[in-house]
Amino acid sequence: MPELPEVESVRRQLDPLLAGRVVERTWFDDHPAHRFHAIGDLDGQRLVRVDRRGKYLVCPLAPGPHAAVALPRDTMLVLHLGMTGSFRLRGPGDPTDPHVRFQAWLDDDRRLDFRDPRRFGRVSVVRPDEVAEVVPTLARLGPEPLSDDFTLDGFAADLAATRSPVKVALLNQRLVAGVGNIYADEALWRARINPHARRVGRDRAARLHRAVRDVLAEAISREGTTFRDYQMVNGQSGRNADFLQAYGQAELPCQRCGTPMSHVVLGGRGTTYCRTCQT
């Protein structure tokens, strides 16, 4: 599933294409998953910009000249790529891929298509008083890891308060937003911390805090990690897969000490780490 670097890379391409555009009409295919919410309210609304929060794309809305519904202030369009979601901007008359689940026709004669073969993505128009109900994960997100809100003091305190394995704690989105399985493995390897560890002191928390920031920033600079499905708006794949040092490296020599990398299931997620130099 796309994580923060992949979603941020999509955001950077979508924002200059969508910011300020008015949605003239929409279409969606909700069968059978019911992963779309209040889509009709989007008709006539202006997309102010494309932001990101964790693994979500968030577009603040403002009324266009012919808005179908008067929406409360701070209403937003929330987009989640799921496992196989991708966006494309199409011109007039361009054909529709059979796996497209959502379309928005814009006031510049282009069409935004959301393609999602496995149907795990979500598109929702969310009023400010219904965020916790419609997108509960978004309502509970921790600080953005590349922002000033992600402080070492807060991170170390949160790690000290949890009794979960550190890998599981990183994935729950409350300690830090946007870190998924790939970048949790990468950060723990870089910080030399065993993913099973349940007690992480101040010194190791500082190493992990820096590692989370570094691996995410580096992955963003390479426009994310593509194994199969993830693509940006321009159809290109991310370039970070060749730089991974832990995720997907099971049985290969650790790039630091040469020990074969181990693979276990932790908290229901595959986890790769080095038994020798991650302690």
Catalytic residue at 186?
A: no
Catalytic residue at 167?
A: no
Spatial neighbors of 19 by CB under 8 A, at least 6 apart, are 47, 48, 49, 50
Among 81, 115, 139, the domain-final residue is 139
Catalytic residue among 3, 6, 24, 223: 3
Q: Which of 198, 231, 257, 204 is nearest to 113 (CA)?
A: 231
For 213-232, write each residue's pLDDT tens digit.
Answer: 999 999 999 999 998 889 99
For 57-69, write each residue's pLDDT tens digit.
Answer: 999 999 999 998 9
Catalytic residue at 163?
A: no
Model pTM score: 0.96
Cβ atoms of 188 and 159 closer than 8 Å: no
Among 139, 165, 183, the domain-final residue is 139
Asked whether residue 77 falls in the same domain as residue 189, the answer is no
Cβ atoms of 38 and 249 closer than 8 Å: no
Spatial neighbors of 4 by CB under 8 A, at least 6 apart, are 52, 54, 55, 145, 177, 178, 179, 180, 183, 216, 220
Asked whether residue 215 falls in the same domain as residue 156, the answer is yes
Mean pLDDT, residues 46-54 taken together: 98
Q: Which domain holds residue 96?
A: 4-139
Q: List, in sequence order, every beta strand (DSSP E) within 13-93.
A: 23-28, 36-37, 45-47, 51-53, 56-63, 76-80, 86-90
* Residue 125 pLDDT > 90: yes
For 76-90, write each residue's pLDDT tens digit.
Answer: 999 999 999 999 999
248/11 Cα distance (integer angstroms):
26
Place of tokens 């630091």: 256
The percentage of residues in the chain with a pLDDT greater than 70, rounded to a whole number, is 100
Asked whether residue 126 falls in the same domain as residue 157, the answer is no
Mean pLDDT, residues 180-196 taken together: 98
Give a three-class secondary structure readout of 194-249: CCCCCCCCHHHHHHHHHHHHHHHHHHHHCCCCCCCCCCCCCCCCCCCHHHCCCCCC
Asked whether residue 27 falls in the same domain as residue 117, the answer is yes
Catalytic residue among 49, 127, 174, 269: 269
* Residue 1 pLDDT > 90: no
Catalytic residue among 11, 35, 52, 55: 55
Mean pLDDT, residues 262-272 taken together: 97
Given this model, what pLDDT does residue 175 score? 97
Asked whether residue 80 falls in the same domain as residue 158, the answer is no
Given this model, what pLDDT does residue 135 score? 97
Asked whether residue 21 falls in the same domain as residue 82, the answer is yes
